[in-house]
Amino acid sequence: MTDPYYITTAISYPNGRPHIGHAYEAIVTDAIARYNRLAGRDVYFQTGTDEHGLKMDQAARARGIDARTLADEMSGYFREMADTFNISYDRFIRTTEAAHHHASQTLWQAMADAGDIYADRYEGWYSVRDEAFYDEKELVDDPNGGGRLSPEGSPVAWTAEEGWFFRLSAFQDRLLAHFEANPDFIQPESRRNEVIAFVRGGLRDLSISRSNFDWGVPVPGSADQVMYVWVDALTNYLTGAGYPDDQERMARWWPADLHVIGKDIVRFHAVYWPAFLMSANLPLPAKIFGHGHVLDRGVKMSKSLGNVVDPQELAQRYGVDPVRYFLLREVSFGQDGSYAADAIVTRSNADLANGLGNLAQRCLSIIAKNCNALVPEPAAGSEDPDLAGQATRAAVDAAMAQLSPNRALEAIWEAVGDANRYFADNAPWSLRKTDPAAADTILYYTAEAVRRLAILVRWAVPASADRLLDLLAQPAEARDFAALGTAIAPGTPLPPPVGVFPRLEDEKAG
């Protein structure tokens, strides 16, 4: 495969267990990764945990354990969440790995060699929760009268210490020139505009080391200093690409094609990260997408649902694919979304159980009963209704090129609607009695539509799509987009049909 595609999620702080926002980011990034694999690209997908810094240190202290123990325990939950939701990562990176320390120190050294790191005294506002420095002018008043807060609404503390600085101010013009020359570098547009305004407002040099705690990557040549957590965190993307020692991997995977991150950390990715890379003379990633936040409004309104905010519990209660489908379909990628238990149930029942599931079930059970469980033969010269055909594929590609999984799914479900109408209008179950050849034709084209739909939707609901393709006796190598053009063979023996998408109950009522 000649077309490499390197995609990443943010790496999460394992200072607590994962929540629905982490699951959302993993699912949407996985969907894009899987889509690209289905389209024939050689995908490398990295996710993981960001284990250093003051936030981890403090969370561990609060529990009376050391940061490493906390990281080991919580990182396990993030990995488990990724596995539960069928996240097809190629590497789950932990920033405490030796290879990552080596990469971070090498990048630091490259920035130092370029003359972009110098010693100075830092004084300013720091938010541990955000792991971020802020200017006085960025702070906001606490609406509850608790003093000054970060723009993310987190407490800030005045910090003063000696340490190392990165000459961020020197990169202002180069960053602006890069944004100008690469209009797609930061998406969506609203985030791009925020970043440009921030950089135009002037950049101050960045404090990049800390001496008042030691839970971090040691600064090369400065035994009493550890790196500011964002320096090493961002470097994870390079570590995954084999930096600095594996030239072959670097040549294949760097620069990354897409960093998927949340809107709260766009500044780190769109300003600090490219400046570090420019300093070290490394190419910049092609694109940074800042998605919105998923709010648990529905849950808050419904006390009876208790703690379903835990992604594991959501998966257990509703099933992995209904949750994946819901988040991909209901949240416009780039905007905030909210989730509610009854909305997951409604969406899943309408689109998965009644839409695609019912189509497959009705068609395949008639084939099992009336056609000896063999894919029937369409009548010679019959007209192909071209259900879920080229036009649907083109609509899916266009939506995914815009990183819009919700619109891609809309296009697929238009085709599900067409196929259901075709089947219902032609009523093969009654047509059988008068014109069995015509009924076979309808059944054939419907089965073929189910096959195409299952392939087209495999990036969104992989396990369910694979069960549909099992029911159609499709081999593993005939399940990607290249297989869309080769119709199912008449005479293929099919296994007994079973329901793939169960109907969900709204437990709130019970």
Using DSSP bridges, classify how beta strands 288-291 and 186-187 pair: parallel, antiparallel or unpaired. parallel
Interface with ligand ME8 (CB under 6 A), residue total 18
Q: Give the integer Cα–Cα distance in Å for 510 and 505.
A: 9
Asked if residue 11 binds ligand ME8 (CB under 6 A), the reply is yes
Look up residue 369 and give its two tokens.
């009963």
Which residue, 50 or 448, is less far from ligand ME8 as judged by CB?
50
Per CB under 6 A, 272 contacts ligand ME8: no
Phi and psi at 94, nearest 5°, equal -120, 130
- 279-308: contacts with ligand ME8 (CB under 6 A): 293-294
Nearer to ligand ME8, 87 or 483 (CB): 87
Contact 183, 137 (CB under 8 A): no
Q: Which of 178, 235, 167 is nearest to 203 (CA)?
A: 167
Is-contact 265 134, C-beta < 8 A? no
Other CB atoms within 10 Å distance of the CB of residue 344: 24
To ligand ME8, the closest distance from the beta carbon of 24 in angstroms equals 5
Among residues 84, 33, 489, the alpha carbon closest in space to that of 260 is found at 33
CB of 240 to ligand ME8, least distance (A): 11
264 versus 377: smaller Cβ distance to ligand ME8: 264
Q: Is 123 helix (H, G, I), strand (E, B) or coil?
A: strand
Select from 24, 166, 272, 325 the one that contacts ligand ME8 (CB under 6 A). Answer: 24
Secondary structure class of 429 (helix, strand, coil): helix
Interacting residue with ligand ME8 among 5, 6, 7, 13 (CB under 6 A): 13
Taking the least distance from each CB to ligand ME8, the nearer of 203 and 234 is 234
Non-local CB neighbours of 116 within 8 Å, separated by 6+ positions:
166, 167, 170, 279
User: How far is CA 492 from each of CA 251, 260, 367, 473, rounded to the nearest angstrom?
Assistant: 44, 41, 11, 7
Which residue in the set 262, 274, 462, 497 belongs to the binding site for ligand ME8 (CB under 6 A)? Answer: 262
Region 135-164 residues binding ligand ME8, contact defined as CB under 6 A: none
Task: Please state the closest distance from residue 452 (CB atom) to ligand ME8, in A.
Answer: 32
Q: State the nearest-atom distance from the C-beta of 227 to ligand ME8, in Å.
A: 13
**One character per residue 42-81, x = contact with ligand ME8 (rule: CB under 6 A):** --------x-------------------------------
Binding mask 205-244 for ligand ME8 (x = CB under 6 A): ----------------------------xx-x--------
22/330 Cα distance (integer angstroms): 17
- State how far the Cα of 249 lies from the Cα of 240, in Å rounded to an integer: 9
Tally Cβ neighbours within 10 Å of residue 82: 24
Output the smallest distance, CB 37 to ligand ME8, in A: 22
- 25 counts as binding ligand ME8 under rule CB under 6 A: yes
Q: How far is the CB of 59 from ligand ME8 (least distance, A)?
A: 12
Q: Strand pairing of 140-141 and 148-149? A: antiparallel
Residues of this chain that interact with ligand ME8 (CB under 6 A) are 10-13, 21-22, 24-25, 50, 233-234, 236, 261-262, 264-265, 293-294
